[in-house]
Chains A and B, each alone.
Chain A
Amino acid sequence: MTTLTDPPKGAFRPSMLLYDSRYRSLTLQAIAAIVLALCFLYLYSNVAANLRAAGLNISYSFLGNTAGYDINQTLIEYTSQSTNWRAAIVGILNTLLVAFLACITATIFGVLAGVLRLSPNWLVRKLMAFYVEIFRNIPVLIWIIIIFTIMTAVLPAPSAFRGDDSDSSMLFNLAAFTNRGVYIPGPYFTRGFGAEGNGALNWLLVIAVLVGSLIATRAVSASANAKQAATGVRPKTLWLNLAIWFVPVIIVLFALGLQWDTPALRGFNFQGGLKIGGPLIALWFALSIYTGAFIAENVRAGIQAVSKGQTEAAAALGLRPRRVMSLVVLPQALRVIIPPLISQYLNITKNSSLAIAVGYADITATLGGITLNQTGRAIECVLLLMLFYLIISLLISAFMNVYNNTMKLKER
């Protein structure tokens, strides 16, 4: 008879780092980390040595110097006497603007095309398949240039609007579509806060009213839900909601003295009103339809991931196809759709750097283009650009992941 004893504990020997599977992975990772660190060290010392040899140094003081150039689309006050840093901010805001607009429209296009691609109607289905395949398989830069070229070539120049017997005329005397952009009436306030009554405070007030309306309508829905749960009858809320949305904002706009400034041809260009520049339109539209095609595929995958039985069960309850889609299928499909949607939003933001192809003043065009070229500070500018895109990407990712966590299947 033998008694079992614990196997003898071997002392740690260095060779175990290589032959013992418990330690081998750690060893390899340590080696990989050291090699990676050496690579970065080499790259850094190479850059430093080459810069020193060329008599250059790394300095960010150029950001405080006068930029000296003008930008055609600025969301904040900017003149050629502003600093390079301010020019960079202008570029950042332009990047964010086009990315934000394109994310919204790409989502709309994508959801529509994705749902319609599963339509029982043969023609609609094939048209959407055509759209998706065409736009996904041609690079976005080509689309940007195509759309911009078509805009500049097809739309008339402002000079075509000149004279009594002009070649082109404004739409209802309100909007002008030219090859430099679209001019539409712009709102301004004759009363209210701020200088000349068009300060940002007025707009903040309008936004605050709209947010208040949003909260109020949610409260109305919640009370309607409660009443429905208690009595089984859902009170009609449509007119109440419409009133909550429109009445306060109309009163506020009236109180602030809202006026519309219509564009008019003065001198070389249309003046007054709002101008949506050609580059912005081309970039916005190209990014939207291109990424929309990818989102359409995500949406289609998400819908197909929902069991067919769900659709059939909902139909058996008597719901019409549209209600089935919006109440049963899409909410379940969202769990599959949202994670790849995050990547598409990131792609839009990063692809907006192609703006320079059409002369849109985004961050790549201001900081990474003109400032870089005028100051010659290539390394500094590119590092700043990388940092900006990194931060933006991480922020979008973080926000969308929070949203994803609220939507994903709760398992208990």
Chain B
Amino acid sequence: MKKSVIFGALTVAGLAAGAAAAGTLDDVKARGKLNCGVTTGLVGFAAPDADGNWEGFDVSVCRAVAAAVLGDGNAVEFVPTTGKTRFTALSSGEIDMLARNTTWTFSRDVDLKFTFVGVNYYDGQGFMVPKALGVSSAKDLDGATVCIQTGTTTELNLADFFRTNNISYEPVPVETNAEGQQQYLAGACDVYTTDASGLASTRATFEAPGDHTLLPEIISKEPLGPLVRHGDDEWGDVVRWTLNALIAAEELGVTSANVSEIGTSTNNPEIKRLLGTEGTLGEMMGLDADWGAKAIAVGGNYGEIFAKNIGEETPIGLARGLNAQWTNGGLLYSPPFR
């Protein structure tokens, strides 16, 4: 009797392992819920609010994909991951996609077998120091103690920066942003380094943000974007084009306010194709015709999402900078919906 239970469990495990290899899109549809990996908490990008609802810039991408696939922006199971657990969670199938300030690098793309579907934030690594320290440049940090989240690209950039500038430092490895913030505020490290956007977000939660300054040096390119497992191109397309839809919507002037009627009122064929009132783009991906409209309706277009979560009106106060549309001198450029 006991043996049959064991064999039963093995069979189930075998089936589950087999199913993971099948199409993620079908899995998500069958499950009725999208499993989306996010950070354990970085205000503005992904953090639960007082009621436990996840919100933020990365969270909006998850919700847009859920809306495109399932028609409901709330059909998302948010899985908090740390810098160390995120890739295992994705490659093991625990999550369907990862939207977690993850830098697109060669080795992650090629060696770890992930597919980065695009960039939703162009970032770079910066340094934050207390103003009282009187430091104005990262090159003055010789001998400093630096808090750093382990297992991230910033850890490697940091080592390279100090080595190439021939100055020394002492790393204090921390696991999460919250831990790093606590150590930094307790004075256990002189400097906190991570992506500049993350520093701005962290500083915004301080009691006295004005006492801390971001140093001018940006020591790396950190293109952050959502990623999926390698080898499931259909699913990769869904996430990629949902992100592109958000970016294109801003360029084309589609907002959460006008998305319900502009599809019929406009005579711009690209908007019509994007919103599914013309053509069969949704069908090609195995989604409803109005997938794009649903994705945009959840949180608005890219510009709206940016302004609401991390823009200059928010405590985080990030300027668009590189993240402006290509038409405004930024790097955001969605391939055409055609």
Contact = CB atoms under 8 A, between A and B. Distances in A.
Interface string B86-100: 011001000000000
A373 interface: yes
A119 interface: no
Interface in A167-201: 179-180
Interface string B157-190: 0111011000001111111000000010011111
A370 B187 contact: no
B108 to A, nearest CB: 8
Interface stretch (A19-27, A230-238, A267-275, A286-294): A267-275
Contact of B84 (A54, A179, A271, A373): A373
Given A70-B171, A267-B142, A179 B187 contact: yes
B191 to A, nearest CB: 9
Nearest to B156: A68
A370 B174 CA distance: 11
Given A267-B142, A269-B143, A370-B173, 6 more contacts: A54-B113, A79-B163, A80-B160, A152-B187, A268-B141, A370-B155
A179 B186 contact: yes
A72 B147 CA distance: 11
B159 A376 contact: no
A71 B170 CA distance: 8
B67 to A, nearest CB: 29
* Interface size class of chain A, counting residues whose CB lies under 8 Å from the partner chain: 35 or more
Given A72-B171, A359-B172, A370-B151, A268 B190 contact: yes
A373 B151 contact: yes
Nearest to B183: A152
A266 B151 contact: no
Contacts of A153: 186
Interface of A: 35, 39, 42, 46, 49-50, 53-56, 68-72, 79-81, 152-153, 156-157, 159-160, 179-180, 266-269, 271, 278, 356-357, 359, 361, 365, 369-370, 372-376, 378
A149 B186 CA distance: 10
B85 to A, nearest CB: 9
B145 A268 contact: yes
Contacts of B320: none
Interface string B215-237: 00000000000000111000000
A376 B163 contact: no
Contact of B150 (A68, A267, A269, A365): A365
B183 to A, nearest CB: 7
B155 to A, nearest CB: 5
B338 interface: no
Contact of B159 (A35, A39, A42, A70): A70
A32 B226 CA distance: 47
A267 B143 contact: yes
B183 A50 contact: no
Contacts of B107: 376
Nearest to A160: B187
Contacts of B84: 369, 372-373
Contacts of B145: 180, 268-269
Q: Which secondary structure characterizes the binding site on chain B?
A: mixed
Contacts of B51: none
A372 B133 CA distance: 35
B229 A68 contact: no
A266 B88 contact: no
Contact of A369 (B151, B159, B163, B190): B151
Interface in B61-89: 83-84, 87-88
Given A54-B231, A56-B113, A180-B188, A365 B173 contact: yes
Contacts, number: 118
A359 B151 CA distance: 12
B112 interface: yes
A16 B84 CA distance: 56
Contact of A359 (B10, B13, B87, B174): B174
A367 to B, nearest CB: 12
Interface centre among B84, B143, B163, B188 (most CB of A within 10 A): B188
Contacts of B158: 70
Contacts of B111: 375-376
A46 B174 contact: no
25 contacts: A42-B14, A46-B13, A54-B113, A55-B230, A56-B113, A69-B159, A69-B171, A70-B159, A72-B170, A80-B160, A152-B186, A152-B188, A159-B190, A180-B189, A267-B142, A267-B143, A268-B133, A269-B144, A269-B145, A271-B143, A359-B174, A372-B84, A372-B151, A374-B155, A374-B156
Contacts of A373: 83-84, 87, 150-151
Contact of A54 (B13, B163, B230): B230
Contacts of A68: 155-156, 159-160
A374 B151 contact: yes
A357 B144 CA distance: 22
B151 A46 contact: no
Contact of A72 (B21, B172, B230): B172
Interface string B106-146: 01100111000000000000000000110000000111110
B251 to A, nearest CB: 35
Interface string B35-78: 00000000000000000000000000000000000000000000
- What are the nearest 10 A-B pairs in CB distance? A157-B187, A373-B151, A80-B159, A267-B143, A376-B112, A268-B144, A359-B173, A68-B156, A152-B186, A152-B188
A159 B107 CA distance: 40
Nearest to A275: B170
Contacts of B163: 79-81
Contacts of A49: 17
Contacts of A375: 111
A374 B162 CA distance: 19
A409 B20 CA distance: 59
B10 A42 contact: yes
Contact of B188 (A35, A39, A157): A157
A50 B159 contact: no
B12 to A, nearest CB: 13
A373 B104 CA distance: 15
A69 B174 CA distance: 14
A71 B142 CA distance: 16
Contacts of B183: 152
Nearest to B20: A50
Contacts of B150: 356, 359, 365, 369-370, 373
A45 B160 CA distance: 40
A53 B88 contact: no
A159 B132 CA distance: 10
Contacts of A266: 143
Nearest to A56: B113
A39 B6 CA distance: 10
